[in-house]
Amino acid sequence: MPTFSATDCNYEEIGHPTEVGLRLEADTAADLFICAAQAMFHLIQPEHIPSTKTTEWQQITLSANDPESLLVAWLDELLDLYHKTGLIYHRYSLVTWEPTFLEATVTGDKPAKPPTRQIRAATYRQLELTQTPTNWQARILFDSAP
């Protein structure tokens, strides 16, 4: 599977028979959450080039019982916004990140082409989120349509 770099992070697509997944690493937990969002939208529309003219923004506030649940909630909230608005979110500002709470502003725009992959939800299956001595790492799988 291909490996990609985004701002302040690295991610790799991992395959699974009924799901698509990501392996991610970043310097901080906040960077990892942004990386996960960037990578997820890259899975949905790898050829999307953000518009400089017609962008829309949303504010997101989430809380969860633990950092793993917060990661799933974050990605599911972005997917929910995507399914409601059709926007590909490409700019993320985490105003507050704590292990069980985040506030963010996200900016997106309509893609010029239809999505190449349908992702329905982030899952807890084989979910991993760990802090190492040098960075943060995660593995997450998504329920996707064939």
pLDDT (0 to 100) of residue 16: 66
Residue 38's closest CA among 27, 24, 52, 51? 24
pLDDT (0 to 100) of residue 5: 40
- The half-sphere exposure of 44 on its side-chain side, counting CA atoms within 13 A, is 28
pLDDT digits (tens, 9 = 90+) for 84-137: 999 999 889 999 999 999 999 999 999 888 898 899 999 999 999 999 999 999
Going from N- to C-terminal start, the domains of the chain cover 3-144
Q: What is the spatial distance between Cα 132 and Cα 29, in angstroms, rounded to a whole number?
A: 11
Residue 29 pLDDT > 60? yes
Q: Are 70 and 102 in contact (CB under 8 A)?
A: yes
| Domain spanning 3-144: CATH 3.55.10.10 | yes
Residue 39 pLDDT > 80? yes
